[in-house]
Chain A
């Protein structure tokens, strides 16, 4: 009996938190079908009084939304793949090889996580401009392709791989590159999923750097596009909400694909401290 009460109260609490979580979200999506006048009307209703697709339709006509969207997907995928690969490689070397200065390098990588963006962004901009990298996708990829967080997670995970496994492969005559690609990578799937989700999200959201680097409309990213709704004198809430509703779709897709491994992966990367 006591168990039943506990079970129900547990579900009630979870459901309550769930509702609080969903509510602003639902409100935003429903509002994306309202006109701007209705969004800020005095008498609010959850469902739109007059249903309109105008906000969605004008997305494409106001700026090349699909183009921005595709660019963002492209950059996010490339950066995510790179970060995952580099993090794995560095994690492998830093956890399984013993050499002088290893801890120093690892400590330094950790420290980079603490440096505020504000310290580096201007000097980095000047450097990239001098290198003639402005308005290239390379400029968006280079500064984020090494992630301290990713290396940290992968180092933790890979260090848990039994040395005997690698040793056995070595005795079979496999070189280190093969060991990495055929043993280490496949065995780290879970952590890779976790990093992939985190990283994808970060790239997807990043605004200031792409804005500074990219000049041409054709190459611009979605996160920068979202700020277009915040005009000098007023904010187009309807447009913003519609664009946001669409822009979270890929993240949710990525999340759903990887989510089975996600939790297990975070576990592998974070727990064995």
Chain B
């Protein structure tokens, strides 16, 4: 922080700085602030831009939101979904990255590429494939394990089934990030711990893990944000069913906005999610930040 400050700023620095700042501010204003303000205003209206309805109804959308049972179901599901999927992503990602990075494993590129394959496949297609795999009569999963579970139509298994698909699709992303994190830990840290006679677990727990904190923050925060907005898996695989047992809050927004065209109502829910996201993000920042 307290490095030498240059006394004079060159002309080109000022030009570049002003250029970038102006661009960023203007861009954010046009593409973020204005749409958000419009949507915020819309949340107090009976708003359907498709047939031109725009009628002030005050807090009705928010009241309706809190009274709508599906809203609470979807919020509960979203919390479970986020916690479980993020946890799996972190544990799987870290474990596999640690394994691949181990000196004992050759063909690192091979495993890395394989694990990243699902991540680069379009989600819509992946969801369809898994939907067929979950079929109780001819699906791969029941056949393979000799089960007879109607995964996507069971109030017990439908949400876990959607979560399993999401974990499969995305764990590669975390593997890559954690591998990068491990790569950037200087070798001397390990040498030092080797001299101190620490065992593998201790080395991991007291050296690797704390040094991976920035990566951990990145993985947790970006995953959290993207999962709070997830709706495609539900849209393709269950449409929120059976009943409303796999409704996620972002799917509810999608359903209200682009299936039922209640844009005002959908905006109200979206704003609730925005606040919820902000709170969760700050909370996880605090949690991971305080560990070290």
Contacts and interface: CB of A to CB of B under 8 A. Distances in A.
Contacts of A271: 180-181, 184, 214-215
A160 to B, nearest CB: 10
Contacts of B181: 267, 270-271
B91 interface: no
A241 B168 CA distance: 18
A264 B132 contact: no
Contacts of B270: 116, 118-119
A270 B215 contact: yes
A264 to B, nearest CB: 7
A99 B17 contact: yes
Contact of B225 (A113, A170, A176): A113
Contacts of A118: 229, 250, 253-254, 257, 266-267, 270, 273
Contacts of B271: 119
Nearest to B181: A271
Contact of B257 (A122, A204, A272): A122
Interface in A5-24: 6-7, 10-11, 13-14, 17-18, 20-24
B115 A89 contact: no
B250 A226 contact: no
B22 to A, nearest CB: 11
A161 interface: no
Q: How large is the interface on A (under 10, 10 to 19, 20 to 34, 35 or more residues)?
A: 35 or more
A223 B121 CA distance: 11
Given A116-B229, A176-B10, A266 B180 contact: yes
Contacts of A265: 180
A149 interface: yes
Interface string B1-36: 001011000111101110011001101101110111
A143 to B, nearest CB: 5
B240 interface: no
Interface string A175-199: 1110010000000000000100000
A123 B124 contact: no
Nearest to B217: A273
A99 B17 CA distance: 9
A252 B10 contact: no
Interface residues of B, number: 91
Interface string A1-41: 00100110011011001101111110110000000000111
Contact of A175 (B10, B104, B133, B168): B10
Interface string B48-61: 01000000000000
Contacts of A7: 104-105
B88 interface: no
B49 A14 contact: no
A31 B17 CA distance: 54
B16 A177 contact: yes
A6 to B, nearest CB: 7
A93 B16 contact: yes
Contact of B213 (A13, A27, A273): A273
Interface stretch (A51-59, A63-71, A73-81, A255-263): A255-263
B285 to A, nearest CB: 11
Interface stretch (B106-114, B155-163, B187-195, B202-210): B106-114
B96 interface: yes
B277 A114 contact: yes
Contacts of B214: 270-273
A24 B263 CA distance: 37
B35 A127 contact: yes
B119 to A, nearest CB: 8
Interface in A82-134: 89-90, 93-94, 97-99, 101, 105, 108-109, 111-124, 126-127
Interface stretch (B65-73, B79-87, B135-143, B145-153): B135-143
B120 A248 contact: yes
Nearest to A243: B125
B16 A119 contact: no
B172 to A, nearest CB: 8
Nearest to A178: B12
Given A118-B253, A255-B113, A263-B183, 15 more contacts: A24-B129, A98-B5, A112-B28, A119-B36, A123-B35, A126-B38, A126-B49, A176-B10, A223-B124, A240-B125, A252-B120, A255-B116, A263-B176, A268-B184, A272-B214
15 contacts: A14-B99, A18-B115, A99-B17, A112-B32, A114-B225, A114-B278, A119-B35, A122-B39, A124-B35, A149-B222, A226-B125, A255-B113, A256-B113, A267-B183, A271-B215
6 A-B pairs with least C-beta separation: A273-B214, A267-B180, A123-B38, A244-B125, A175-B12, A120-B35
